[in-house]
Structure 1
Amino acid sequence: MAIRLLILVQLVLPLVAAAPRSLEAAALHPIVLVPGYATNELDARLTELYRPSSPRCGERKGKGWFRLYLNYSALQDPANVPCFAEQMSSVYDAASDDYYNVPGVETRVPSFGSTQAFRFPDPDRKNFSYMNAFVERLEKMGYRDGETMFGAPYDFRYVVAPAGRPSKAGDAFLRALKGLVERASRLNGGRPVTIVTHSNGGPLTHQLLVRQPLAWRRRFVRRFLPIAAPWGGIVVGMLLLVSGNNYGLPFVDARALLAAGRSQSTSIWWLPSPSPAVFGTTQPLVVTRSRNYSAGDVAEYLVDIGLGEAVGPYESRVLPLFGAELPPPGVPVTNIVGVGVGTTERIVYPGDGFHGTPDTVAGDGDGVVNLASALAVETQWKKDYRLVKVSNVTHNGLVADDRALDIVIREIQRAN
């Protein structure tokens, strides 16, 4: 009898020791994180087809992969910025109706499936991140990278096109994201996945969902939780096409990156939607001394700022997706939006053109996403839709600020 008891104890003790983690994991639905624009690493290599504009830009030619984004130290040297801009650029080919890298520049996104690629976009310095705090909070809940928590970084220069139009990079990401959701579910006993996105990751993930059969969505997705999603573009997107985007790096001249930003398909995704549910066609968004531009005048605006080549892609690849109501994703949604932070609502230039520093008129939002855009889906996605407003926290702060994270974590717990 004693021997039997001893054997029983030896069998049960390891199970008791493992119980806390097992019980903890059993309470969690797997989570997939899709980050925002310019928040994950991007690698590049230069092939023989690359024709650098200067010998300095060609120094890495034929030498294998290197981190293109983010190399904080390299960008602190102004001499490296033109090379960065050149290699970050893309090209729209009208014949194939798609966007590609500059010839001779190959890119890849490291660590797909893991959160490592967007914890710190520059892992050497670890001085630029807003996703790390969020990931750490999830780990405190019991989530483990590669087991119950997965990351879906992407080449943020590219987005998807409407169904039926080519989008090599965008379609590849949607296939990879779909496979990751299925894998996360499979590794967790078939439990459906909570997809949490930030900013640009929201509209991208929405495109994945609406392109899948309803049976797939019901099987694999428990809840879609977009944070700070621009459902109908942002007014500041019009400004960036004139002033440039320096990725939030104060030592980089935004004008030096203007051409690179203009070349990326993501940049025209941000243009304000003329949908009545968002900005409409009468509200002045950009004002010069000679005329006003509303969301309905975006094509004319592109021509007037010298970017007429983007009119075709805008009208054929953006308006069909965002020019009208967005279809419901077919899964439960918790839409987390920021309010109470001054957000550019109108851009006023002093002269007839787009020269000089414009004045801006602020409205409500999170500092980047206008409230009208954040709420654009509220009347359309009524079924199993939950709206959560977070006051006085910035766009990036929604996944970094302690108070905001308390709210986000609570909503994830509700999904569990």
Structure 2
Amino acid sequence: MNNSLLIKYGLAGVGLDIVSSADICKHVFHTKASTKRMHTKNDNNNTEYSAVQSEPWSCTERCFPKLICCTYIHKTIANAFHPFIFIPGDGGSQVEAKINKTNSVHYICAKTSTDFFNIWLNLELLVPVVIDCWIDNIKLRYDNVTRRTSNTEGVETRIPGFGSTEPVEWLDPSHASTGAYFTDIGRLLYFTDIVNALVKLGHVRNQTLKGAPFDFRKAPNENQDYFVKLKQLVEETYESNGKTSVILLAHSMGGPMSQYFLNLQKQNWKDKYIKCLVTLSGAWGGSVKAVKVFAIGDDLGSYMLNGKVMKLEQITNPSLAWLMPSRNYWKMDEVLVQTDTKNYTLSNIEDYFMDVEYPNGWEMYQDTLPHSLNLTAPGVEVHCIYGTNVSTVEQVFYKAGSFYENPTLINGDGDGTVNRRSLEGCKTWSSKQKQKVYDLALPKVDHMGILKNVNVLEYISNLVNGL
């Protein structure tokens, strides 16, 4: 709820998370609207309005027709904000697991658990030796008959907190801090800075701000239930906020996930329920980084982790195959991996998967290829924000006889994770839909840094104030 409205109706001291139009209708006939806000600092050093000075209304003021007053206030408050739903990217949702296994990969690994426990992101599970247990619990198994993945036998996983902002604000529910160890995953803070900025404007967690976490290990073809739940969440959020259309705010892989979701909906549904789509670092055409991960894995920006160990889990995720460079943005004969005996391009990418000894990668690539080729515009207003001028891998180069060793990474333009040509994919929609498409390139802003960048926070704040 907008602070200015609370001040206007003498409710600046009422908790923002419990204020409703009914509260205002009740309060407005017992207090005078001239108020003085008292403020204090909370634990996060943010200003909180904690008290209000007010005077009784006069008889004349109380006799103002209540029906007109309350109807006006209810309509004003209900339409004060367009609610947000946050759609995270790869690695941007908490994952919980419950295990009941008959065997384990190491004697120190537990075979059973009494209940679900946090498995992503749980720093205690990423230490040497213990990480082997973690990999076995979180990796996926691919079935080339059903063309689907499943957990390791005896492992059940779930994505907690759908609809809440908590799971997309913090990757670790303990709110632990990792210092500089996990720089590529934002020190476990995900959408927190953006959520805090919106709360300062008067938004309310879990009322006008909602989270839509999903199993980021899987691509759209295995996330159909998620899209059903997301549609329901949009409709419920619309109804619970005075029939006000919703803003989808997505990061990284959440961008193409949002595009896929919107393309499932009819235009009249989008016109009614969606105000706009705001994307940060959208990976519209995949990334060469996915090619690198299939070869040597990714250490998540931490010297404490071994990329080749992390690879054992990472390459089992169909979402990684989905994020391979798209032929919409890379030429079929453009070299992605160079060796002394063979160059790998999109035209012979099957050979690459076979040569890195992961044929299931090729199968998952084929399963997800139709979804990576979809350039259909989302049919809603788009605000596409991304970083540029950050060194981003464009090609993987192996010296003679070193194919199974660490390659040299040849860099180009992008945000450090996604290549610029992929980040700019949203710009093609300008000529493919009647709704406006705005794009903003931010030099020297990296893939995760964009989530706390002051220019981004200001852009979103201005967007809210301008609606």
Q: What is the TM-score when the length of structure 1 is the normalising length?
A: 0.88
Q: Is the 1:350–1:356 contact (alpha carbons within 8 Å) kept by the matching residues of 2?
A: no
Q: Is the 1:233–1:273 contact (alpha carbons within 8 Å) kept by the matching residues of 2?
A: yes
Identity rate, percent = 26
1:279 counterpart = 2:339: no
User: Counterparts of 1:299 and 1:412 in 2: how far apart (Å)?
Assistant: 46
Aligned counterpart in structure 2 of residue 153 of structure 1, from 208, 213, 234: 213
C-alpha displacement of 1:73: 3.0
What amino acid maps onto 2:212 in structure 1? Answer: A
**Deviation larger for 118-127 or 37-46:** 118-127
State the secondary structure of the residue aligned to 2:315.
helix
Give a deviation string over 1:21-65, Cα, whole Å, max 9, x none: 985763311111111111222111002x55322232225x04211
Q: Is the 1:51–1:104 contact (alpha carbons within 8 Å) kept by the matching residues of 2?
A: no
Unaligned stretches of 5+ residues in structure 2: 1-55, 178-187
**Deviation larger for 130-139 or 351-360:** 351-360
User: Counterparts of 1:259 and 1:11 in 2: how far apart (Å)?
Assistant: 70
Match of 1:54 in 2: 106
Q: 1:73 to 1:309 in 2, by over 3 A?
A: closer
* Structure-to-structure mapping, 1:75-154, within 5 angstroms: 75=126, 77-127=127-177, 128-154=188-214
State the secondary structure of the residue aligned to 2:119.
strand
State the secondary structure of the residue aligned to 2:97.
strand
1:407 counterpart = 2:459: yes
Size of the alignment, in residue pairs? 396
Match of 2:394 in 1: 345
What amino acid maps onto 2:266 in structure 1? Answer: P
Q: Is the 1:39–1:121 contact (alpha carbons within 8 Å) kept by the matching residues of 2?
A: yes
Q: Is the 2:95–2:118 contact (alpha carbons within 8 Å) kept by the matching residues of 1?
A: yes
User: Counterparts of 1:24 and 1:319 in 2: how far apart (Å)?
Assistant: 45
Q: Is the 2:78–2:242 contact (alpha carbons within 8 Å) kept by the matching residues of 1?
A: no
C-alpha displacement of 1:183: 0.9
C-alpha displacement of 1:4: 11
1:210 counterpart = 2:263: yes
Q: Is the 1:281–1:296 contact (alpha carbons within 8 Å) kept by the matching residues of 2?
A: yes
Higher relative contact order (CA 8 A, sep 6+): 1
1:309 counterpart = 2:360: yes
Give a deviation string over 1:223-266, Cα, whole Å, max 9, x none: 11111111111001100111113344431222112121111111
**Deviation larger for 50-59 or 288-297:** 50-59
User: Counterparts of 1:4 and 1:144 in 2: how far apart (Å)?
Assistant: 29
C-alpha displacement of 1:194: 0.7
Q: Is the 1:242–1:354 contact (alpha carbons within 8 Å) kept by the matching residues of 2?
A: no
**RMSD in angstroms over aligned alpha carbons?**
2.6
Match of 2:317 in 1: 264
Match of 2:8 in 1: none
C-alpha displacement of 1:74: 3.5
Q: 1:295 to 1:10 in 2, by over 3 A?
A: farther
State the secondary structure of the residue aligned to 1:118.
helix
What amino acid maps onto 2:314 in structure 1? Answer: G
User: Counterparts of 1:409 and 1:320 in 2: how far apart (Å)?
Assistant: 36
State the secondary structure of the residue aligned to 1:301.
helix
1:239 counterpart = 2:292: yes
User: Counterparts of 1:386 and 1:27 in 2: how far apart (Å)?
Assistant: 23
C-alpha displacement of 1:294: 2.1
Unaligned stretches of 5+ residues in structure 1: 162-166
Q: 1:100 to 1:9 in 2, by over 3 A?
A: same
Match of 2:95 in 1: 42
C-alpha displacement of 1:377: 3.6
Give a deviation string over 1:284-334, Cα, whole Å, max 9, x none: 12111112222333222111111112222212x2221223x5111111111
1:300 counterpart = 2:351: yes
State the secondary structure of the residue aligned to 2:114.
coil
C-alpha displacement of 1:378: 2.0
What amino acid maps onto 2:420 in structure 1? Answer: L
User: Counterparts of 1:259 and 1:78 in 2: how far apart (Å)?
Assistant: 14
1:180 counterpart = 2:252: no
C-alpha displacement of 1:11: 8.4
**Deviation larger for 224-233 or 122-131:** 122-131
State the secondary structure of the residue aligned to 2:417.
coil
State the secondary structure of the residue aligned to 2:396.
strand
Match of 1:374 in 2: 423
User: Counterparts of 1:381 and 1:105 in 2: how far apart (Å)?
Assistant: 45
State the secondary structure of the residue aligned to 2:210.
strand
State the secondary structure of the residue aligned to 1:300.
helix
State the secondary structure of the residue aligned to 2:206.
coil
User: Counterparts of 2:74 and 2:306 in 1: how far apart (Å)?
Assistant: 49
User: Counterparts of 1:321 and 1:247 in 2: how far apart (Å)?
Assistant: 26
State the secondary structure of the residue aligned to 1:197.
strand
Q: Is the 1:32–1:150 contact (alpha carbons within 8 Å) kept by the matching residues of 2?
A: yes
C-alpha displacement of 1:353: 5.2
What amino acid maps onto 2:353 in structure 1? Answer: L
What amino acid maps onto 2:199 in structure 1? Answer: E
What amino acid maps onto 1:366 in structure 2? Answer: D
Q: 1:185 to 1:291 in 2, by over 3 A?
A: same
State the secondary structure of the residue aligned to 2:364.
helix
Q: 1:5 to 1:365 in 2, by over 3 A?
A: same
Aligned counterpart in structure 2 of residue 192 of structure 1, from 245, 249, 264: 245
User: Counterparts of 1:20 and 1:365 in 2: how far apart (Å)?
Assistant: 47
Aligned counterpart in structure 2 of residue 252 of structure 1, from 298, 305, 309: 305
User: Counterparts of 2:452 and 2:414 in 1: how far apart (Å)?
Assistant: 17
Aligned counterpart in structure 1 of residue 442 of structure 2, from 368, 390, 394: 390
